[in-house]
Amino acid sequence: ATPTSIMAGSGRSAEMGVLFKGGEHLEQTQSIDTVVVDKTGTVTHGKPVLTDVKLADGQDEEHVLSLVGAAEKQSEHPLAQAIVEGIQEKGIELGKVQFFEAIPGYGVQATVSGQGVLVGTRKLMQQYGIDVSAVLPEMEALESDGKTAMLAAVNGEYAGLVAVADTIKDTSRGAIARLQKMGIHVIMMTGDNERTAQAIGKEVGVDAVIAEVLPEGKADEVKKLQQQGKKVAMVGDGINDAPALATADIGMAIGTGTDVAMEAADITLIRGDLNSIADAIIMSRKTMRNIK
Ligand code: ADP
Ligand code: MG
């Protein structure tokens, strides 16, 4: 690669909102055959809103939501923010928190107004021996709609469910189809549950979905693909994505995401539009063709 063609390629890419950290990344990006996209904040806007609240028999909405809202107020997760905003919009006052613990990939545990509160996945409820079998059909219906449903328990008993929905970026479906036309395999990866992930994955047309990946497991999934001989680009926005971005052959961070993701990545996609993935690969292919 001549330094001149690399400089020209980098400059043209930057004009399109694709920032390569170094010339070697512009050279390597042409060989990518597999793109792994994070779901929340990458395929979707990452700004979920509270859409549904269901209560267990005999439970009072204001009471349960005051506990759930107070617990989630302590969490930094985007899901938590959506839950808190939705509850506050209902004019419900939040309880007082005596203890809080985030359980990454599962949910939160707290003591609110002297009561034990859990909010999170089925697996979280399972770990605490809470029977949620009665609500599972309802939960699955919400998930099939692409919503993320979270279960709440108070003092060791199932108390209700809250669901949030995130919107898919208008450009995601077209951008994924464009990559596929270039012969690239597109996989969506998420910590969210299998059913929600499949619903969103189907809507945007990805080739495969890897769901229920724990925060520390994303890099391992990338490694597995590399062991199969794939040249992997990982695209993400979150703190959770940083190890996978660093592990991938090429890491691409969404410019509207976290600084941690951008630091771990080789490329920053300023526009947050997944079309920039194809733009980066095309620019690399063109640049390398010029110099062979
Ligand atoms: P994502 O990749 O979607 O950000 P995470 O690994 O952070 O996923 O979380 C996985 C799942 O754990 C979420 O879909 C949700 O069900 C549950 N979860 C995580 N954080 C919270 C929270 N603060 N409150 C309730 N549930 C949570
Ligand atoms: Mg994300």
pLDDT in tens, 244-279: 999 999 999 999 889 999 999 999 999 999 999 999
Pocket-testing residue among 106, 108, 122, 128, ligand 1, by greatest number of atoms within 8 A of Cβ: 106
Going from the Cα of 80 to the center of ligand 1, the distance in angstroms, rounded, reads 9
Q: Annotated catalytic sites, by residue?
A: 38
pLDDT confidence of residue 2: 85
Going from the Cα of 235 to the center of ligand 2, the distance in angstroms, rounded, reads 9
pLDDT confidence of residue 216: 87
Atom 2 of ligand 1, residue of closest alpha carbon: 191
Query: Cα(204)–Cα(235) distance, rounded to whole angstroms?
Result: 15
Report the DSSP beta bridge partners of residue 100: 110
Q: What is the pLDDT of residues 97-127, one digit of tens each?
A: 999 999 999 999 999 999 999 999 999 999 9
Please report, rounded to a whole number, the percentage of residues in the chain having pLDDT higher than 70.
99
- 8 A C-beta contact, residue 248 and residue 36: yes
pTM: 0.92
Q: Of the ligands numbered here, which is closest to the C-alpha atom of 46?
A: 2
DSSP label of 217: G
Amino acid (1-letter code) at residue 93: E
Going from the Cα of 234 to the center of ligand 2, the distance in angstroms, rounded, reads 12
Q: Of the ligands numbered here, which is closest to the C-alpha atom of 272?
A: 2
Atom 4 of ligand 1, residue of closest alpha carbon: 191
| 199 against 289, higher pLDDT | 199
pLDDT confidence of residue 215: 85
Query: Cα(260)–Cα(152) distance, rounded to whole angstroms?
Result: 31
Atom 9 of ligand 1, residue of closest alpha carbon: 105
| ipTM confidence score | 0.93
Q: What is the pLDDT of residues 13-34, one digit of tens each?
A: 999 999 999 999 999 999 999 9
Please give the full DSSP string across 255-270, using - where no structure is assigned. Answer: TTS-HHHHHH-SEEET
**C-alpha to C-alpha distances, 278 to 40, 50, 149, 182, 205, nearest whole angstrom:** 20, 33, 33, 8, 16
Report the DSSP beta bridge partners of residue 115: 112
Q: Exposed/middle/buried for 91, CB within 10 Å: 0-12, 13-18, 19+? A: exposed
Quick one: the chain helix, strand, coil %, rounded to 5?
A: 45, 25, 30
